[in-house]
């Protein structure tokens, strides 16, 4: 609750989120991948695209749609492994368009898992991966930690405390086994998309926006530490 009170004071001073302190030349470029259930044009993706750009002081946040969503038809996604090549091509094109800028990969749910798969590719240099609602549990309940254990770049997890796809105790076990620096920010009461129930908000005396502010501040802090090491 103390962090929420500090957040309220910061907003009164006109500062909505934390930010990466860097000049324009060293501002990161972010490739932001959508989840399985909605395209890059969804309200959630658009909202978080803008918030990430501001919090990270990014030169740009690139979004895209995986091929299975082409034609505007809603289809079930293929296995995440089959999306890697397309995602990697988007990342390579982005890196070529913004040479010299640190590259950060971000993703919502499935998009965060594919981002991790892309990040291990040695053809690109990734500064960090931001996982928004990482789907640690598979359809049959198995813990999908293989790709996380292969990562060599810093990873920031933002998870809702009520996200059934990522039990926090299981994530903590995986984080202890991961090689790079990892950070976790928990959105209290948040579901897989970070939505917090009205009763939970009222009982704890904070708003959805304040909770998102704290997540963005945590993301910006991790990015700042990571980029300062370059």
Q: Does pLDDT of 11 surpass 50?
A: no
CA atoms of 85 and 31, how far apart (whole Å): 14
The fold of the 23-225 domain, in CATH, is: Rossmann fold (3.40.50)
Closest C-alpha to 172, from 157, 190, 152: 157
- Position 228 scores a pLDDT of 81
- Are 14 and 8 in contact by the 8 Å Cβ rule? The answer is no
Q: What is the pLDDT of residue 139?
A: 80
Closest CA to 56 of 22, 90, 31: 22
Dump pLDDT digits (tens) for 43-96. 999 999 999 999 999 999 999 999 999 776 677 899 999 999 999 999 999 999
Q: What residue spans of the chain are helical by DSSP H?
A: 2-12, 43-56, 84-97, 110-119, 146-150, 168-177, 198-204, 208-228
Mean residue pLDDT of the chain comes to: 89
Model confidence, pTM: 0.88
Q: What is the pLDDT of residues 157-197, one digit of tens each?
A: 999 999 999 999 999 999 999 999 999 999 999 999 999 99
pLDDT tier at 26 (50, 70, 90 boundaries)?
Answer: confident
Q: What angle do CA 192, 156, 126 make, to 5 degrees?
A: 120
Residue of 130, 37, 114 lying closest to 80 (CA atoms) = 114
29: left (phi over 0), alpha (psi -120 to 50) or beta: beta
Centre a 10 Å sphere on the Cβ of residue 5 and count the other Cβ atoms it contains. 12
What's the rounded Cα separation, in Å, for the pair 56 and 62? 13
- Answer whether residue 132 shows pLDDT above 60: yes
C-alpha–C-alpha distance, residues 196 and 193, integer Å: 9
The rounded percent of the chain whose pLDDT value lies above 90 is 81
Pairing of strands 60-64, 103-108: unpaired
Separation CA 187–CA 206 (nearest Å): 12
């Amino acid at each position: 609750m103390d962090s929420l009170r500090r957040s309220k004071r910061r907003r009164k001073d006109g500062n909505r989120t934390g930010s990466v302190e860097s000049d324009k030349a060293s501002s990161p470029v972010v490739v932001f991948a959508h989840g399985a259930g909605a395209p890059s044009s969804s309200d959630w993706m658009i909202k978080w695209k803008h918030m990430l750009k501001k919090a990270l002081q990014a030169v740009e946040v690139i979004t895209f749609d995986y091929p299975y969503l082409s034609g505007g038809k809603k289809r079930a996604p293929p296995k995440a492994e089959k999306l890697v090549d397309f995602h990697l091509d988007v990342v390579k094109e982005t890196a070529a368009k913004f040479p010299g800028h640190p590259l950060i990969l971000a993703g919502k749910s499935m998009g965060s898992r594919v981002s991790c798969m892309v990040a291990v590719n040695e053809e690109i240099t990734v500064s960090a991966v931001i996982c928004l609602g990482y789907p640690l549990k598979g359809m049959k309940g198995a813990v999908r930690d293989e790709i996380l254990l292969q990562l060599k770049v810093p990873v920031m997890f933002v998870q809702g405390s009520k996200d059934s796809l990522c039990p926090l105790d299981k994530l903590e076990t995986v984080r202890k086994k991961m090689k790079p620096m990892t950070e976790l920010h928990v959105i209290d009461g948040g579901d897989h998309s970070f939505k917090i129930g009205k009763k939970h908000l009222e009982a704890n005396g904070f708003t959805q926006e304040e909770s998102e502010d704290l997540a963005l501040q945590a993301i910006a802090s991790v990015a700042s530490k990571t980029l300062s090491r370059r």
